[in-house]
């Protein structure tokens, strides 16, 4: 344990941790601004969303929530030096992230080709569905990159201090992405009519 603390002191990872928190804060503010813009637009001009959200979005929500559980388990395994379990749970998180991504794109397909809800629509309130989910998908892609970095580290002889740091940063970001999607999905459900 003392060796891990010495490695952390040598690496001085505090600035990177601070940068992650700044990024999460700015992302949170960005999504808050988007939902505020939707409220102002739809409330001020009487434009309701008038869309029942496709069921696939509920499926994708379940996948992302489950991925937070597997990410938590991967972090716990990393702390206990159980590399095989860490790797297994990271792979599970990655696969669930891909399932989420595919489900979201399929949701766009349903919205566009089955429901006739387009990004460029006379009712711009409906365009917000694409903006919310599209910006969230960019964050999912960034999270998947962090997962890949953590996974690669489990296959190499990465020092434990770096492994734990990667897991910490990946976990913080992944749980944030999960919470943001739940917020956006509930927000869309509450405004669908």
Taken in order of first residue, the domains within the chain and their CATH numbers are: 17-190 (1.20.120.80)
Q: Report whether pLDDT(149) > 60.
A: yes
Q: Pick from 98, 64, 91, 99: which is nearest to 152 by CA?
A: 91
Q: What is the mean pLDDT of residues 8-35?
A: 81
Q: Sorting pLDDT into bands at 50, 70 and 90, what band is 28?
A: very high
pLDDT of residue 16: 77
Q: pLDDT higher for 13 or 187?
A: 187
Count of other CB atoms within 10 angstroms of residue 154: 20
Instruction: Compute the distance between CA of residue 163 and CA of residue 166 in angstroms, rounded to an integer.
Output: 5
Mean pLDDT, the chain, whole residue set: 88
Q: Sorting pLDDT into bands at 50, 70 and 90, what band is 3?
A: low
The predicted-structure confidence for 89-108, as pLDDT tens digits, reads as follows: 999 999 999 999 999 999 99
pLDDT of residue 44: 57
**Percent of the residues in the chain that have a pLDDT greater than 90, as a whole number:** 59
Q: What is the mean pLDDT of residues 167-181?
A: 94
């Amino acid at each position: 344990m003392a060796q891990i603390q010495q490695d952390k002191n040598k690496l001085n990872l505090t600035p990177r941790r601070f940068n992650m928190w700044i990024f999460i804060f700015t992302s949170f503010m960005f999504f808050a601004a988007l939902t505020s813009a939707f409220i102002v637009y739809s409330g001020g001009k009487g434009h309701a969303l008038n869309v029942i959200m496709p069921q696939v979005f509920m499926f994708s929500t379940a996948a992302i929530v489950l991925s937070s559980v597997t990410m938590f388990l991967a972090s716990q395994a990393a702390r206990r030096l159980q590399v095989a379990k860490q790797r297994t749970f990271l792979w599970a998180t990655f696969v669930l992230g891909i399932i989420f991504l595919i489900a979201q794109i399929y949701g766009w397909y349903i919205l566009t080709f089955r429901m006739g809800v387009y990004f460029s629509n006379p009712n711009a309130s409906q365009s917000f569905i694409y903006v919310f989910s599209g910006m969230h998908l960019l964050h999912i892609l960034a999270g998947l990159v962090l997962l890949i970095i953590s996974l690669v580290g489990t296959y190499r002889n990465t020092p434990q201090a770096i492994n734990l740091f990667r897991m910490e940063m990946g976990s913080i970001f992944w749980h944030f992405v999960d919470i943001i999607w739940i917020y956006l999905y509930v927000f869309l459900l509450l405004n669908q009519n």
